[in-house]
Amino acid sequence: MLNYACGNSHIGGKDMEAVKNYNVHIDDKKRVTLRGAKYQYYNVREYTNGCIILEPRELTTPKSISAKTLEDMDKSIRNFKVGKVSDPIDLSDF
């Protein structure tokens, strides 16, 4: 039996209790398989000591457009109307 230590068993000041503990291996395409994963998306943090932390993410459709995004869109339209635009992009190869 191999034993590995990866630092503290808490993230963000919260203690965590392991509900699963198993070994995995990296396949030829550098992937691992999570058994019974409850989420489809994870945020990955890899540390210099080899530890990898996966935090579940749930992607949602925003209910509205943020004020910052609307401001950027307004600025882009103002620039377009005064001719402050980039050179045309040639997409003929596609």
pLDDT value at residue 44: 93
pLDDT value at residue 10: 58
Residue ranges in the chain modelled with pLDDT below 50: 1-4
What global pTM score does this model have?
A: 0.49
Closest CA to 56 of 16, 22, 24: 16
pLDDT value at residue 39: 92
For residues 46 and 52, the answer to whether their CB atoms sit within 8 Å is yes
Q: Cα angle at 48 between 43 and 53, to 5 degrees?
A: 25
pLDDT value at residue 27: 94
Joined tokens for residue 42: 């994870």
pLDDT value at residue 68: 94
pLDDT value at residue 2: 46
| DSSP-based three-state secondary structure for 92 | coil
